[in-house]
Amino acid sequence: MREAATSVIAGATLLALGACTGDSVTATSSASSSVPPTAQPASPSSLTRVPVSLPGPVTAMAATDAGLLLGTYAVSTTPRAGLTLVDPAAGSGGEGSASRAVRVTASTAYGKEGSWLALAANGTQVIGVAGQRGGAHGNVRWTIWRGNIGASGGAVAEEKQEFWTFGGYDMGGLSGVGYGAGQPVVVGGWKSEGTGLDIATWRAQGRTWVRANSARTALASTKASGLVAATAVIPMGSSVLLLGSTTLLGDGSVQVVPSIWTTTGSVIQSAWRRYDLPTGSATGQASVEAGGCGDGACLLAGRIGDRLALWRWDGRAASTIAASDVALGDQERIVGAGLVDDRPWLAIASGLGTGGAGTSSGTETAGVGTAGQAGAAPTPPVSGPSGPTSAASSASLGSSTAAGSTASGTAAGSPVGRIVHSADPISAAQLAWTVEPGPGGAPTAAGVAGGRFWVATDAPALWATPRLGLPADR
């Protein structure tokens, strides 16, 4: 079943990034100036580093009733995929212990070596999916994990599955996990009975995961309705929202439009409905990559062509948020987005993944890279087509590129990430955007927990906005 959404908006993808330094240009100029190699990384004025110890880069995160759960990757530990629970008040005047490790137990060789693709929580119940490339063809071997991280310390363990559950000739990949009406669900891709790949869902029967048939549902790909692909999963109330795109096959033409899939709570196949988001006059391939939901609406973040696209979703329809002045290159990924007091926040990473797990669409989403350097210090605010915009990193707006980069990607000497946010609520008729350099490294995961926007970088380090009601220097 397909429905058209009436209007627009734009979480979490890990990228393996090499070390690089930044160049600086303003939003309206194509000129650039090199940053001396000895220059220190510029930190966003809106983010504060949180003093927590991390065993390795954070590749996934999720908000839980017990705190912010971070999925880490460290070659020196067994399993390499670890979990750290952070107090949402950490680094912002909060009391008590800032963080603690959660016991993680693997039961397979791939479980011991994999890295987290996604985490989700229902209260203190946790589900996660990790992946590691292996076998003769280097395909991703997926592993599924569940547990509880309550006050007693908690633990999360791998649930061993037979190979064909998340593998084989018909497997397309996994996109994310979530909870619908309290029941865990895994989302990915599987060979369609019609054409291409369907969006597939798996549900637990005890400790065994069983895939549902998507044929003749809104999750199915057909020549008439289009080829569907879900690339991310975000929580929405007591259910989940699937983010992605649909490829429409016309007579002699192909159009890729941004799409989301919703359900009223149940995650059975027949409950899903598809909405194609509006693109207005913008042209180019479009998709939704990340998002986050607040009390009354969701922020959805994606791209149309080479520009950032944002939508506000109220559960019934979508409305456009103007952000077309923010460029989004082919090698850039939105690693997380969310709402803090109804204000939008996004983290963008530059570069391509080089290993680890992949989504159902083939995008690299896991691997470990070396820490990069952030761009130069913020430049003064300039005006953009959708309102005043503060440009704080190179090539952050317009079509200009930094020295040493190309139109098709980011080379050494380019910034490794950006933080994009607005002080205006997403319900405002016009939003003024601020673009700042990534906080001392490449963003690897981002999201909202405890009324704060959190950004993990590959240093590894954790950054966050101040708690609501507290000054920025607390």
pTM greater than 0.75: yes
- pLDDT for 468 equals 64
Q: Residue 28 domain-assigned?
A: yes
CB distance 105 to 156 below 8 Å: yes
**pLDDT exceeds 60 at position 273:** yes
- pLDDT for 358 equals 40
**Domain range enclosing 340:** 2-170+280-464
Residue 165: pLDDT band with limits 50, 70, 90: very high
- Average pLDDT on 327-342 reads 94
Of residues 320 and 89, the one with the higher pLDDT is 320
- Average pLDDT on 287-308 reads 95
Q: Residue 378 domain-assigned?
A: yes
- pLDDT for 38 equals 30
- pLDDT for 357 equals 43
**pLDDT exceeds 60 at position 368:** no
- pLDDT for 90 equals 75
- Average pLDDT on 225-246 reads 95
- Average pLDDT on 345-349 reads 96
- pLDDT for 45 equals 66
Q: Which two tokens stand for residue 365?
A: 């989403």
- pLDDT for 36 equals 28
Least confident of 58-72, 196-210, 303-317, 352-366: 352-366
- Number of domains the chain contains: 1
Q: Residue 238 domain-assigned?
A: no
**pLDDT exceeds 50 at position 204:** yes
Of residues 335 and 407, the one with the higher pLDDT is 335
- Average pLDDT on 231-240 reads 93
**pLDDT exceeds 80 at position 44:** no
- Average pLDDT on 216-223 reads 95
Q: Residue 35 domain-assigned?
A: yes
**pLDDT exceeds 70 at position 461:** yes
- Average pLDDT on 376-399 reads 30
- Average pLDDT on 277-304 reads 94
- pLDDT for 268 equals 73
The span from the CA of 198 to the CA of 269, in Å, is 11
Residue 283: pLDDT band with limits 50, 70, 90: confident
- Average pLDDT on 415-433 reads 90
Q: Residue 191 domain-assigned?
A: no
- pLDDT for 314 equals 93
Least confident of 39-53, 119-133, 256-270, 305-319: 39-53
Please say whether the dihedral angle defined by the alpha carbons of residues 364, 369, 371 and 374, taken in this order, is positive or negative.
negative
**pLDDT exceeds 90 at position 467:** no
Q: Residue 125 domain-assigned?
A: yes
Q: Residue 221 domain-assigned?
A: no
Q: What percent of the chain has pLDDT over 70?
A: 73
Q: Residue 8 domain-assigned?
A: yes
- pLDDT for 374 equals 24
- pLDDT for 263 equals 87
- pLDDT for 95 equals 42
**pLDDT exceeds 80 at position 33:** no
* Averaged confidence pLDDT in the chain: 78
Residue 415: pLDDT band with limits 50, 70, 90: low
Least confident of 9-13, 114-118, 387-391: 9-13
**pLDDT exceeds 70 at position 70:** yes
